[in-house]
Amino acid sequence: MRILFPFCFLLFTLPSLTIQAQILDSENKLTITLKDQTKVTLYGQAATLSDEKSKNYYYLPCALRLSKKRDGTPEFLFMKFTSDEKSATGVTQGALLHLLMEYGLSKEQEVELAGVLKSRYNGALLKGAADVEPDGDNSVRIISATLGSKDLTRSLVFNGKAPTLPGSKIAIAAMLDKQGAQIFAATLEKTKSIADLSLNLSFNYTVRVPAARGYIKQDWSKMDSLVQKDSAVFKETDDKNYGEKVANTVAGVLFGGAIGGALGWFGSGDEDHYSYDELRQFYRKLEEQKVITLRFEENVASEKVDKIREAFFDHFLNSFTDKDGKGAREPSTNEKEAMPDIKHGDSYTFKREIREIVKQKKIQIFDLSYAMAVKRSHQLTENLASWYNQTKDNPKCVGIVNLSDPFFLYRDINVILDIEAEEMMGKEVNYVTVNIRKKRSGEGSFDFQQDVTFDRKTLEKEGNRVTVTYSKAQDASPELYEYKVQWSLRGGLVFPPNDTTWKRGSWQGLSLAPPIMPRTIRFEADLADMKENGIRNVTLQLRYKKFGNEVETNIGVNASGTDAFAEKMIFMDRNTQGYAYRLVFHDKDLGPIATQWDAKINTDYMYASIPKEIRNKDQNWIKMGLDAAKVLVAVDENGNVSKEQKVLDKFRKIIDIAEKKN
């Protein structure tokens, strides 16, 4: 076990000494300031199993800077963006920040540093960058109140680990919102000092440090004086005074010849066999007499030095004694502590070699000094402004963009229900549906189509406005769209009755006016005048177009009544501006006398003026009137005027509004 243990240690120790290609010496450190005030910290290469100072130096990460493309353009982008379109979330305004950084000396700095090393430090050589490792997964840190605030910055992404090789790049990207962009841009543009963005890289590097200095010295020349002294007090000892026994034995047996005679080192009798406790006492005696000296310098707890002493006692036993197998007794307390698995007490005899060592008065020194590899931290911090100033006049790096690319724009069509239609909803109109279509010319594109329906419920719930939105992408004329409208009317009618052709939409939007419009016709008569002329009732007969058909409405005033005024709402086609009318006077003796059909435009008021022919009893005229009044009811069950009785064709030029062509 004792022999194997050192080999195990060797196996664990050697790899750690050989795998490290670059080992830095903590005791060989330089700091050099270059002309541009860049401070460079260098470590010398550690010499293997030696404290000698190497002249080969490696530098720690320094000179953090913006990286550049091959053409010299800094790899930096600060792009403020806005849009012609308003956005409730404000996502169309802000700024994009993207930059790539690297560290390490430039060629010029390396040349300068190598020159300083060579001239100032006796021919020292610059070998390159020191091996470093990132200080954890968060070894890149962004220091910025603006970018660190979620209120001002929508997103921030960057490499978590600092790169370990000079020239490797670190990417940082941020999307700032509108306010964050303004604040950040202000710190860049309004100052020449610094920006609200500093970057910090944290590294670890490994150096070899002198961990401890110490030695164990065995000075066998001091045995002489010890033996001489002990010989003077040589005496029989009791069994418990082990140290005296061994010392006396060594004095008497080992040195009996020279001092007392070289008598049998392996002489017979129990005096040649020693227990574990006897040897411990003997070892302590040797320490007291400075034959064995332990010296160890280190800021460590004292129990570690005690362990060294224990370990060296093991070494002493292993080197100078053999177990003779004559134990067969209960192990002592000390033995149990040193060898927990011991079952029987051991018995030891001195090896033959010790006589030569002691006789030759050898001095043996065990060097306990050793070095260890420890990790040290190193940080690199710089502010953005120093790099930004190099780039702010470079349009490749800093810019403003208005997000007006039609590809990303939308076309909003406001569909508004006309006020007249609102009034008619639930009365003359059940609902209206508008179908909007956007045909796209781009290859592989899809057409857009959407329906919107207004009825009384949606009108109450959502109002009279609906917005239909389509993308302007993939089309040569993104503003153009088409539509068609269908109205559902009282009585189960639809207008237009068939799905008609698509109409081109206007850029303003769509106003859904019903095809018919309400008009309130006010009709008045002079009751006294009617009575005086024998007229019992007068009726205003109106003919007008509704959904393209000629329809009739009658409004009457009775002379026996009290109201000389009557009114009625009619719904006539929007593309007409007037109506045909006639008056039917009901003579108390002759019956109904109808006037000729005439036309009226742009007025909703009619007065029942009794014709002078009736007042004058013009028989010819009255006869024509009586004839005309023979057919007073000319509508069928659907309210349409029979073909034979239609009159509007005669007034088409007056009543119809020429249809505008879009």
Partner 1 sequence: MNYRVLLSGMAILNLVFGLTVPAFSQAVSLSGKLTCVLINKEEVQLFPAQDNPMGFYYLPNNLRLSTTETLQPEFLFMSWKSEASAETDNGVMHWLLTWGLSKEQEKEVQNCLIAKVDSNAIVMGALTVEAPEKFLLSGKNKDLIALLQGSLSSGAGIPTQPGGKSASSFRFLGEDARKVEQTLNSLDKWDGIFIEMPFYWTDGHPAHTLRLAAKTIMQSGTKCSECVIIPK
Query: Side chain identity at 204, as an amino acid letter?
Result: N
**447: number of Cβ within 10 Å:** 11
Of 145 and 401, the one with the shorter C-beta distance to partner 1 is 145
Q: Considering only the stretches 1-9, 103-111, 270-278, 534-542, report the one whose residues sit in contact with partner 1 under the rule CB under 8 A.
A: 1-9
596 near partner 1 (CB under 8 A): no
State the nearest-atom distance from the C-beta of 216 to partner 1, in Å: 8
> In the structure encoding, which two tokens stand for residue 523, read together?
């009709």
The residue type at 36: D
For residues 655 and 572, give the distance between their C-alpha atoms in angstroms, rounded to a whole number. Answer: 11
Q: Which of 19, 35, 619, 638 binds partner 1 (CB under 8 A)?
A: 35
Shortest reach from residue 546's CB to partner 1, in Å: 56
Specify the residue, 369 or 640, whose C-beta has the smaller distance to partner 1.
369
Cβ atoms of 102 and 121 closer than 8 Å: no
Q: Enumerate residues 109-138 that contact partner 1 by CB under 8 A.
A: 120-121
CB of 446 to partner 1, least distance (A): 44
Residue with Cβ nearer partner 1 (247 or 385): 385
- In 3D space, the residue among 437, 265, 291 whose CA is nearest the CA of residue 361 turns out to be 291
Note the helical H segments in 513-583. 527-532
Residue of 32, 28, 34 lying closest to 47 (CA atoms): 28
Residue from 24, 195, 246, 489 in contact with partner 1 (CB under 8 A): 195
Residues 353-372 that bind partner 1 (CB under 8 A): 364, 366-368, 370, 372
If the CB atoms of residues 319 and 577 are measured against partner 1, the closer one turns out to be 319
Which of 73, 364 has the CB closer to partner 1? Answer: 364
Stretch that binds partner 1, among 184-192, 253-261, 463-471, 476-484 (CB under 8 A): 184-192
Which residues pair with residue 225 across a beta bridge?
none
Q: 85-114: which residues touch partner 1 (CB under 8 A)? A: none
242-249 vs 223-232: helix crossing angle, rounded to 10: 110
Q: What is the DSSP letter of 640?
A: B
Kindly state the smallest distance separating residue 42's Cβ from partner 1, in Å: 8
Of 588, 590, 591, 597, nearest in space to 530 by CA? 588
What whole-number distance in Å separates Cα of residue 200 and Cα of residue 486? 67
Contact between 157 and partner 1 (CB under 8 A)? no
Structural tokens at position 375: 């990790």
Judged by CB under 8 A, does residue 225 bind partner 1? no
13 binds partner 1 (CB under 8 A): yes
Q: What are the tokens at 383? A: 């502010």
Cβ distance to partner 1 smaller for residue 210 or 518: 210
> What token pair was written down for 212?
């401890």
Q: How far is the CB of 9 from partner 1 (least distance, A)?
A: 4
Looking at the DSSP bridge assignments, the partners of residue 132 are 205
Name the β-bridge partners of 231. none
CA pair distance 219, 226, nearest whole angstrom: 12
Q: Which is nearer to partner 1, 13 or 506 (CB)?
A: 13
User: Between residue 557 and residue 576, which ones bind partner 1 under the rule CB under 8 A?
Assistant: none
Residue 263 engages partner 1 in binding (rule: CB under 8 A): no
Whole-angstrom distance, CA of residue 158 vs CA of residue 153: 14
Binding of residue 177 to partner 1 (CB under 8 A): no
Least distance CB 288 / partner 1 (angstroms):
21
Residue span 44-73 as binding mask against partner 1, x where in contact by CB under 8 A, dash where not: -------x-x------x-x-----------
Query: Is 377 or 449 the residue whose CB approaches partner 1 more closely?
Result: 377
Name residues contacting partner 1, limited to 372-401 (CB under 8 A): 372, 374, 376-383, 385-386
Are 304 and 311 in contact by the 8 Å Cβ rule? The answer is no
| Residue in 557, 567, 556 with CA at minimum distance from that of residue 528 | 557
Q: Within positions 284 to 343, which residues make up the interface with partner 1, using CB under 8 A?
A: 298-300, 304, 307-308, 310-312, 315, 318-319
Using CB under 8 A as the binding rule, whether residue 191 contacts partner 1 is answered as: yes
In this structure, which amino acid lies at residue 582?
A: R
When binding is defined by CB under 8 A, the residue of 17, 111, 165, 211 that contacts partner 1 is: 211
CB 565 within 8 A of CB 522: yes
What single DSSP character describes residue 261? B
Q: Does 32 bind partner 1 (CB under 8 A)?
A: yes
Q: 448 pairs with which residues across the strands?
A: 438
Task: Please list, in sequence order, all residues whose beta carbon lies within 8 angstroms of the beta carbon of residue 355, skipping any fewer than 6 positions away.
Answer: 254, 262, 265
SS3 619: helix
Two structure tokens written together for 460: 């109450």
Nearest to partner 1 of 30, 96 (CB atom): 30
Q: Does 617 bind partner 1 (CB under 8 A)?
A: no
User: Closest approach of Cβ 154 to partner 1, in Å?
Assistant: 17
Interaction of residue 445 with partner 1, rule CB under 8 A:
no
Q: How many residues bind partner 1 (CB under 8 A)?
A: 79
If binding is defined by CB under 8 A, does position 196 make contact with partner 1? yes
Question: Does 144 participate in binding partner 1 (rule CB under 8 A)?
Answer: yes
d(CA 75, CA 65): 10
